[in-house]
Structure 1
Amino acid sequence: MRERTLIKLSHYQAVLEGAGIPTFIRNESLAHLEVPIPTFCPALCVVEDGDYERAMQLLHESEAEAAKASIEDCTCGKCGETNPHSFDICWNCGTELAA
């Protein structure tokens, strides 16, 4: 998987490594090119070819969960304020939100 920045690749790497899939980032030092050349963009690679399908499934699931969480809101039980689903604490009153 190629990306222009290391931020997304690092997140993907953490997801896969957390699931026990060894990875490495190829062309990491080329991430700061002024004019990115797609062929040389950093790429997240799985070490074992046999892990590829599972890795792609995990990344698709991670993206779907992130998209879902970004559009769902939750309401604070104490003050009634609407908070993004990804928040653990109400931005208005500081009360812990229910999971």
Structure 2
Amino acid sequence: MKEVVRERTLIRLSHYQAVLEGAGIPTFIRNEALAHLEVPIPTFCPALCVVDDQDYDRAIGLLHESAEQAAKASTEDCLCPACGEINPRSFDLCWNCGAELA
């Protein structure tokens, strides 16, 4: 068991866990029950861990890749093939006409 990342909230950790589990890397969140402390103590913040230490380097690489893709998607726009409206790359459907974006 090796800690990959520690966060104050479970939202981001849950996303990271989904990325790693989707790639076949078994994980668990340590200190999950402590996420709701009123005054978070960094040592006890929830932490995403890989079960097998050998998956650590791959997990770090996948999380970096995921962050890069998210940053790129948030800065690019795409045109709707149906109406020509500009949409953020992170959208699956056009905000204007509801058509599926490529």
Q: TM-score range by the shorter chain?
A: over 0.9
Q: TM-score, normalised to structure 2's length?
A: 0.92
State the alpha-carbon separation in 2 of the partners of residues 17 and 78 from structure 1: 35
Kindly state the Cα deviation for residue 96 of structure 1 after the two structures are TM-superposed.
Answer: 1.6
Kindly state the Cα deviation for residue 77 of structure 1 after the two structures are TM-superposed.
Answer: 2.3
State how many pairs are aligned: 98
Structure 2 unaligned regions, length at least 5: none
Q: TM-score, normalised to structure 1's length?
A: 0.95
**Could you give the per-residue CA deviations for residues 12-59 of structure 1, whole angstroms, max 9, x where no partner exists?**
001101111110100000000001110000000000111100000000
Kindly state the Cα deviation for residue 61 of structure 1 after the two structures are TM-superposed.
Answer: 0.2
Task: Provide the secondary structure at the position in 2 that maps to 1:31.
Answer: helix
Q: Which has the higher strand share?
A: 2
Superposition misfits of 4+ residues, deviation over 2 angstroms: none
- Counterpart for residue 66 of structure 1: 70
